[in-house]
Copies of this chain bind each other. A is one copy, B any other.
């Protein structure tokens, strides 16, 4: 079939919908326009009405463009479930398991998530991040060879092991969600600071990074103790807590039994530059020098590859 020269891509997560009108130029998509809307948990279950409303001006101008969609919208709490594809799997193959259906004049393709399920200890899932992994793979042909560790920080940090272009393992840490809960609703922090204090951040990261035995649940209370005893200012506390959490996340990744650091061809952070910066700072404390890629870049690159695979088949 002849692929259309325009396509709509939608990252529809739990808390937010982001839609992009894209133009295909050669093999790559470029963004012409973008809009946002309510996430899956706020869309009131009438997903078709929400989507139709959000992209109505594009429909009016360009008619029934295909819609490529990823994220929580494909979960069992979303629109049409796109069941997880098991590891090991190449991200393009994930895209080929897309669930498609008509929504008004648009044909919609929902890209599934990925799961690992070898035993209880290693079971894990991701949904939405597979687009970024695919996008990262397509940025440089050397990424298709060897073993690489990707870290995608966010509400949940996803650690993704990629071997010879295939996703072989996913590991999740609820670092961001824990930070939000502890920062706003625990005894540890009276008021979160607006700006990150890098000195306090590194002090927290050092504590968990250098912990011999990973005593994270015992380390958290230091946020309060140090304040009570006058060794941490209240305005430094949230930065220190962020350091503790990210330090613990990275320590666990460094010690993970599922991969060996000396086997890795590269470690790469994919996400928003400020958040990736915190992870990068912490990794450097352990003499690691990760690459950093903006997730806007991997998103577009990933959907470009899916556009080629799904619509140009």
A→B interface (CB under 8 Å)? 14, 75-76, 84, 115, 117, 120-121, 123-125, 156, 159, 171-175, 177-178, 181-182, 185-188, 203, 207, 211-218, 220-222, 225-226, 228-229, 231, 245, 248-249, 252-253, 255-257
Pair B218/A115 contact, Cβ less than 8 Å:
no
This protein's copies in its complex: 2
User: Which residue on B lies nearest to A123, using beta carbons?
Assistant: B225
- How long is the Cα–Cα vector from A14 to B186 in the complex, in angstroms? 13
Q: From A207, A215, A229, A253, name the one whose CB has the most chain B CB atoms within 10 angstroms.
A: A215
Given known contacts A124-B221, A221-B172, A226-B123, A252 and B177 CB-to-CB distance under 8 angstroms: no
CB distance from A247 to the nearest CB of B (A): 10
Q: From A178, A185, A218, A228, name the one whose CB has the most chain B CB atoms within 10 angstroms.
A: A218
Pair B181/A213 contact, Cβ less than 8 Å:
no
Q: B residues within 8 A CB of A76?
A: 228
Given known contacts A125-B229, A186-B174, A228-B125, A120 and B213 CB-to-CB distance under 8 angstroms: no
Given known contacts A115-B229, A225-B125, A255-B213, A186 and B181 CB-to-CB distance under 8 angstroms: yes
